Structures are given as structure tokens and as C-alpha cells.
Amino acid sequence: MFNSSIEQIPRQELEALQLDRLKKALEAAQRTPFYKKQFSDNNIDVSKINSLSDLKKLPFTTKSDLRVSYPDGMCAVDRNVIVRMHASSGTTGKSTVIFYTRKDIEEWSSLVARGLYSSGIRSEDVFQNMMGYGLFTGGLGLHYGAEKLGCMIIPSATGNSLKQIQLIQDFKTTAVHITPSYALHLADVINGEGINPADLGIRRAVLGAEPYSEATRDKIQDIYGLKAYNNYGLSEMNGPGVAFECEELGGMHIWEDFYIPEIINPETGENLPDGETGELVITHINREAMPIFRYRTRDLTRIIPEPCRCGRTHKRIDRMKGRTDDMLIISGVNIFPSQIESVLMNIPEVGNNYQIVVDRENNLDKIHIKVELYSKMFHGDIKELDSLRKNITDLLKSTIIVTPKIELLEPGSLPPSTGKAVRVIDNRKI
Amino acid sequence: MPHQLSIFAENKPGKIEKITGIIAEGQINIRAVTISDAGDYGIIKLLVDNPERGFELLKSENIAVNLKEIIAVKIEDKIGGLHEISKVLRENNINVNDSYGFITEPKKEAVFIFQVADPIHAENILKKEGFSLLSDRELYLI
Ligand SMILES: [Zn+2]
């Protein structure tokens, strides 16, 4: 382990540490205009928060709270001790800004290093970081973590696939940080160059920044002959590194010396017991510049109640089931794009790109799913295509209940995704 | 045995143009075209003078393409010509998947082209029945 004393800390000691840090964070939060007002509006006396279960008494913090606090309404330290900021661009309105002191950056880097180690990355690895650098936390977050671990980093960032391939070959990249959609796209480009992706020698992939299914992970592992690990993060909680999958592959350890996770019913806000699926809510208890309490991530998951075989005592969260705001309601049925993806990725005749389009025609919801035919699986027979289309329709119908209309497209006709893939287009005006 | 190209195409304007453009650029001559249409998409079948090269060119453009074995039978351009061969095929339980015919100038000969599940079996039967089959070379040079 990267830091076995903290990763294997007995639960009792961990909880004592959490309470201590929570109290300090509450103390610091009173210096921020946002929490000062939120606590007084809700009659919260922070000196009365004396146990971890008292955390429930605090109100939630939401994305819109962060937007309203733009640019620094949640900052708890002096401007001159801040060494960095990151921001996530909101599609609507102002972006959300996160600040870090030097200690925050160092601890975040150690946390990412801890996670990378648990996913089997070692200091001997050549780590190609194919993630966006800049205001987005994904690139720099993993960069600092991998550097802390001692890897040689290739900060190749996103795009320019031919250059990426050349770097992999020339510097013998052994580990990559990549979005799943780009990993699949890059495999097509590598194949197009007459190279078998499995011959490149990449042994580990850290997949992140977008939701993906277990079937997509399998596909990436098969194509490249590597082991791929999941991780979870969000800029409000530093960025990547909040939770990492260990080599036991049974969910992601959420580093509880930094974060207190809760699962709530997204409609009522009530806490749910471990094991039940709901919205993940996280409290950051160890960031000087910007404490955040009970942040509503809008990600749906569950806490895995059983301890992990790896010996780490930090709880695990399951792979994300979707986002509360990604959920599509089609004719009254709740559908997650991830369910559709898992079905499609298990059909060998279907290529890597797909798109879900939802329309409302005559007051009825219609779901169209566009898939590309995988050229190697085309045998020139029209009956085969008709039965493929029927097969896709039936498989999806049995998973999502509603009957989709399947459109078979030529290979390469959907826009290739080089970052966060746009998979869902909802044309309904509600 | 001769081959033809089977190409998957969406039923949208410009799709045939794109494919024929690639074929023309490769200096490949098209002898016959058929399209089977299934609504949103279809299969374009091209009989060309160099199907292997056409296949490689289309594949390199990421087009879903397949090389299919075909049977090309010469039939007399007269009433009942097609009927005779159809009868033989039916009597031998051979199901024709996809077929078309054309007439060659100036010899006034008709060629009937079709796909079957087992082309070697069909070829043997037709030969035995006295039909004249075109080899790949003969067909591509028509
Ligand atoms: Zn574990």
C-alpha cells in the first residue's frame, strides 16, 4: 500500500479522526460568507456538532450554492495562501470555483498517489495522462498524483491521436489515464495504423471523467490487453482521487480520512442505510481553503457494506449507476443511459459509438438509438442486418422496458468522442 | 469463382456517390449495380472488374464491405431462358438469395447472377445440367 497506516486504520480510530477534522472544518467554515449565512439561517450552532451522526443536522450544499458563491464566497483562507484554483464550466450560468492551499495540493496529490497504487500503478510506470489539462481537474489532479507516486509522466493531454500513439511507442507507456470513450476511439485509430493495440505494452488504465458500463471496461481490457480500474472524483471534492478501485475490483474505496460519504433518497433528502442505492452526498473534512459540507453530487450509487479483502478499512462505493439529472424518464419509465450502453457493448456487431435521441411525437415519448455497424462483423447480407436490428431492439426492450427504434448507421458516421462523449440528445420540450 | 462487393449503406443522399467515387478513383470499372433496400439502410452490390482491390479500398475508408461469392450463368437471350435455370435450381432445392441479370452487347447474351448458401454445390449441379458458367476472369471482362 502507498500509506498502509492510514489505509488500514481501524474504523474506530478513523471515526475519531473524522470527527476531529469535521469540527475543525466547521470552525473554518464560519470564516466563509456562504456558510456563515447558511448556518445562521438554519440556526446551526457548530459547537453542538459533537458526533458524526450530528452531521445530518447540517443542510445540504448544492452546485447552485457554489455558483451563487462565485467567485470566492466559500473560501475560508486569505487570498495570499491560495496556490491554485480550478473551475468547472457550467453549461448554464457561472462556473464553480475550487481553491487550494499548498497543503491542500500536497494532500490531494498523496490521495491520488494512494489511489493509483491501489489500482496497481507503480513508480516504475510510464504514465501517459490523456486527460484535459487546465481549469478541469482531471489532468492536473492525476498528474500531481502520479508524480507523487514517482511515475514518469507524459503530459500528453487530449486529442491528436497519432501523436498519442507515437508517444506510447517511443516512450514505452505502461499506464494511461483516459476517458473510456477516447480509449475506444483511440483503439480504432491504432488499428487503422495497422497496429494491434494489445502489442503496445500498456498494462494499466485508469478510466475516468465519464460514466461507463462494466461491458465497456471489458471491451477496453480485451482490445488493449490491460487491466482497467475505475475511479471517482468531482471538482467540488478536489477532482479525481475521491475514490479508487483496488485490485480486488469490488467497488471504489472512498478515502474517509478526507471525505465523509452519505447516501440519501434524492427526492426526500433522507439518509439511506449502507447497501441501498441513492444519491451520494460528500463532506470534505480536510481542505483548508474550502470546506464543503454535505455536497449533493447528483451521482447515484450505494455504499458496499462488506469489508474489502484487500485489507483497506475505508468504505467502498459501487460503480455509479447514473446521475440524478442523467436519468431519462421515457413514457414514465426511469432509464439510465448506462443501461443502454451495457446492452450495446455486449453485441459484437455494434461499433463503439452510439447515440440516444429522445423525441416527443403526438404526446408520446419516442426513443431512438443510433448505433454503428462494426465493419468487421458485416457479412454482406441484408437479412442478417434485419435480424441484428431486431435482436438489438429485443435485448434493449428487455432491459429498459420501452421499445426503442434502432437505427443502424455506417461505421464512423457518429461523431467520435474525444472527451466527454455526448451520448444523449433529448429533444423534448417539457 | 467470381465475387461481388456487398456494401452496407444508410439510405441517405450522397451515399452511393461516395462509394462510386472511391471505386472510380481506384480505376475500377463497375459492371453492374443492384441495391436492396430495407428502409433506413440497404445493401449496395457492385459487380466490378477488380473486386479484391475494390474491397481493400472501401475497407480502408472504414466502409462496411464484404466480398461475396457469386454464380454467373450464361443464358440464351430468348423466351424461357431464365425459366430453365430456375427450374433446375428449384429441383435441386437451391435457394437463390439475391439475383439479377443483364444482357451483354453486342453478343446478345444474357448473364444471370445470384448468391446461394453453398456456391460450390450449386456450381456443380449447374455444370452437370449443361449450363455455361462464367469464371471470374470472363465475368469481369465482359
Ligand atoms: Zn479493497
Same domain, B24 and B65: yes
Q: For A142-203, what is the HEC assignment?
A: HHHHHHHHCCEEECCCCCCHHHHHHHHHHHCCCEEEECHHHHHHHHHHHHHCCCCHHHHCCC
- Cα torsion angle, B53, A350, A176, A141, sign: positive
A413 near B CB under 8 A: yes
Residues of A in contact with B38 (CB under 8 A): 382, 385-386
A348 near B CB under 8 A: no
B63 near A CB under 8 A: yes
Nearest to A382 among B15, B36, B63 (CB): B36
Q: Residue A334 has what pLDDT? A: 74
Cα A250 to ligand 1 centroid, rounded to whole Å: 7
**Angle, CA of A237, A243 and A244, to the nearest 5°:** 145
Cα A18 to ligand 1 centroid, rounded to whole Å: 20
**Angle, CA of A286, A289 and A291, to the nearest 5°:** 50
B56 sits in which H/E element = helix B51-60
**Angle, CA of A268, A271 and A274, to the nearest 5°:** 135
**CATH code for the domain of B42:** 3.30.2130.10
B66 near A CB under 8 A: yes
Same domain, A296 and A363: no
Report in angstroms the alpha-carbon separations of A33 from A44, A77, A322, A381, A410: 15, 12, 33, 67, 55
Same domain, B83 and B62: no
Beta bridge partners of A301: A278
Same domain, B80 and B51: no
Same domain, A100 and A139: yes
- Whether B102 and B32 have beta carbons less than 8 Å apart is answered as yes
- Whether A61 and A284 have beta carbons less than 8 Å apart is answered as no
pTM (predicted TM-score): 0.68
**Integer Cα distance of A203 and A226 in angstroms:** 4
Q: Nearest CA of chain A to the CA of B78: how many Å?
A: 31
Sole residue written with cell 470534505: A284
Same domain, B76 and B64: no
A359 sits in which H/E element = strand A350-361
Q: Residue A360 has what pLDDT? A: 84
Question: Can you tell me whether residue A103 is helix, strand or coil?
Answer: helix
A378 near B CB under 8 A: yes
A394 near B CB under 8 A: no
Residue finishing a domain among A270, A299, A325: A325
Same domain, A240 and A134: yes
Asked if A385 lies within 8 A of B63 by C-beta distance, the reply is no
Nearest to B43 among A382, A407, A409 (CB): A382
- B67: nearest CA in chain A? A380
Number of domains present in the structure of chain A: 2
Each of the 430 residues of chain A gets a pLDDT tens digit; together they read 999 999 999 999 999 999 999 999 999 999 999 999 999 999 999 999 999 999 999 999 998 899 889 999 999 999 999 999 999 865 445 788 999 999 999 999 999 999 999 999 999 999 999 998 988 899 999 999 999 999 999 999 988 999 999 999 999 999 999 998 899 989 999 999 999 999 999 999 999 877 788 888 999 999 999 999 999 999 999 999 999 999 999 899 999 999 999 999 887 899 999 999 899 999 999 999 999 999 999 999 999 989 999 999 999 999 888 777 777 878 777 788 878 888 898 898 998 888 999 988 877 888 999 999 988 888 888 888 999 999 999 999 988 888 999 999 998 888 765 555 568 888 886 5
Same domain, A117 and A27: yes
Same domain, B75 and B136: yes
Same domain, B124 and B82: yes
Residue finishing a domain among B69, B97, B117: B69
**Integer Cα distance of A232 and A141 in angstroms:** 12
- Packing angle, helices A337-345 and A214-224, rounded to 10: 40
Interface of A with B in 212-241 (CB under 8 A): none
Domain that holds residue A403: 333-426
Strands A259-264 and A424-426, bridge-based pairing: unpaired
Same domain, A174 and A233: yes
- Whether B125 and B97 have beta carbons less than 8 Å apart is answered as no
Same domain, A293 and A347: no
Asked if B63 lies within 8 A of A192 by C-beta distance, the reply is no
B38 near A CB under 8 A: yes
**Integer Cα distance of B21 and A190 in angstroms:** 26
Same domain, A281 and A395: no
How does DSSP assign B104-141, residue by residue? ETTTTEEEEEEE-S-HHHHHHHHHHTTPEEPPHHHHHT
Same domain, A118 and A197: yes
Task: Name the DSSP class of B27.
Answer: T
Residues of A in contact with B97 (CB under 8 A): 381
Same domain, A142 and A16: yes
Same domain, A320 and A365: no
Same domain, A93 and A157: yes
**Integer Cα distance of A276 and A321 in angstroms:** 12
Which amino acid is present at A149? L
Same domain, A281 and A403: no
Residue finishing a domain among B69, B91, B108: B69
Domain that holds residue B93: 71-140
Number of domains present in the structure of chain B: 2
Same domain, B127 and B76: yes
Asked if A411 lies within 8 A of B41 by C-beta distance, the reply is no
Same domain, B34 and B60: yes
Closest listed residue to residue B93, CA positions, set B122, B127, B132: B122
Q: Residue A399 has what pLDDT? A: 85
Same domain, B103 and B135: yes
Same domain, B47 and B78: no
Please report the number of interchain residue pairs, chain A to chain B, with beta-carbon separation below 8 angstroms.
Answer: 55
Asked if B10 lies within 8 A of A410 by C-beta distance, the reply is yes
Asked if B8 lies within 8 A of A381 by C-beta distance, the reply is no
How does DSSP assign A235-298, residue by residue? GGGTEEEEEEE-TT-SSEEE-TTTEEEEEE-TTT--B--TT--EEEEEEE-S-SS--EEEEEEE
Residues of B in contact with A369 (CB under 8 A): none
Same domain, B62 and B97: no
Residues of A in contact with B42 (CB under 8 A): 382
A46 near B CB under 8 A: no
Residues of B in contact with A192 (CB under 8 A): 62
Same domain, B84 and B118: yes
- B64: nearest CA in chain A? A375
Tens digits of per-residue pLDDT, B71-109? 999 887 778 878 888 888 899 888 888 788 888 776 677
**CATH code for the domain of A127:** 3.40.50.12780
Asked if A378 lies within 8 A of B66 by C-beta distance, the reply is yes
Instruction: Please report the ipTM that was assigned to this predicted complex.
Output: 0.78
**Integer Cα distance of B128 and A39 in angstroms:** 95
